Amino acid sequence: MKSALKLALPFLLVCLLPLSAVIAAPAQPAPEVAAKGYLLVDFNSGKVLAENNADERLEPASLTKIMTAYVVFREIAAGRIGLTDQVLVSEKAWRTGGSRMFIEVGTQVSVEDLLKGMIIQSGNDASVALAEHVAGSTEAFANLMNANAKRLGMENTHFTNPNGLPDPDLYTTARDLAKVTMALIREFPDFYSWYGSKEFTYNEITQPNRNPLLKRDPSADGVKTGHTNAAGYCLVGSAKRDDMRLVSVVMGAASPNARAQASLALLNWGFRYFESHSLYPADQPIENLRVWYGQQETLPVGPEADVVATIPRGSYSRLSARLEKTAELNAPIAKGTRIGDIVVTLGENEIIRAPLVALQDVPEGGLWRKAKDSVLQMF
């Protein structure tokens, strides 16, 4: 991603608009994808590049385990469990059908091995063992999954188990799966590296990673496959080329090859026709604005969050930006107060409107400062 864009700075007095983004059309339309629902999103900017039925509620099958892993990672990060914790395998975990890492009832297995068995081998038994260790039961763990889904804004998702085995009340969407996947990659990069592992051996049984993208695309490093008769063949993929990462979600394809081809087609199209640019990092000043009646005359302002633009390839030179502030700035002003927007345009089209905030406190000035500024404002 290129360096920050230089701002053009006409300070317009406007009413604030909500954060918005528009993606200009690339030279080539998105590929046709044979799936019930799909989505392609730029990880750095969060901009959706292609989608179809992305909000339709569908069965996730083993894609459920992305949320299972995310919940466990959060428990580790909070210090409530550890990678070296030994988990006693219950009969319920041992008897769980479908794909397995072949843990044995009554034995103890480390949290790290269970995570790798779930992530790399897609072990349903490992998922149950982890859920029971974290929450005491799979039902209680599902409550944790749903609480995290709500926190992440997964509005069309409901979990009932940690492994994705069929249940009429288990559903999610391509868009929601992208949300939890991007949160997992962003918050737990070290753990995410396991998703690129080609194989894992446990109990003297070596099983390959089920993700076909790892063999077909050297830039791919995740994420997860899923399949049941009702869900069809599903795949959440992610690949990184240079500084650009894309996440693809394909749900309800007709065959293993169809989901792989669809995922590769989306990823290759995204990398071929789009580029991502980091324009302004969060909490870094991009301008100093005049403040009235304060202990200081200027206020450094910058973006609340990283401002990243995803645009058609070859159009970077057409980007421009400006600041729009809501009104004159009068002290006192608290750090973090939203005082306007950063507006990025591509040609004549506005593509990003991001919050502009105060980067430090400006206390109210004394009587002399107030009197002086009153006179200056009159002229």
Catalytic residues: 62, 65, 122
For residues 210, 215, 218, 219, the Cα torsion angle rounded to the nearest 10 degrees is -30
Is 240 labeled as ligand-binding?
Answer: no
Contact between 220 and 267 under an 8 Å Cβ cutoff? The reply is: yes
Contact 253, 234 (CB under 8 A): yes
Which pairs from 81-88 meet CB under 8 Å and 24+ separation?
81/111, 81/133, 81/134, 82/111, 83/110, 83/111, 83/112, 83/115, 84/110, 84/111, 84/112, 85/110, 85/111, 85/133, 86/110, 87/111, 87/114, 87/129, 87/130, 87/132, 87/133
CA distance 335 to 16: 19
CA of residue 230 relative to chain centroid, distance: 27
**At which residue do the structure tokens 């039925």 appear?**
53
CB within 8 Å of 68: residues ≥ 6 apart: 118, 127, 130, 131, 141, 145, 162, 163
Query: Which residue ranges make up the annotated binding site?
Result: 224
Query: Which residue ranges make up the annotated binding site for substrate?
Result: 224
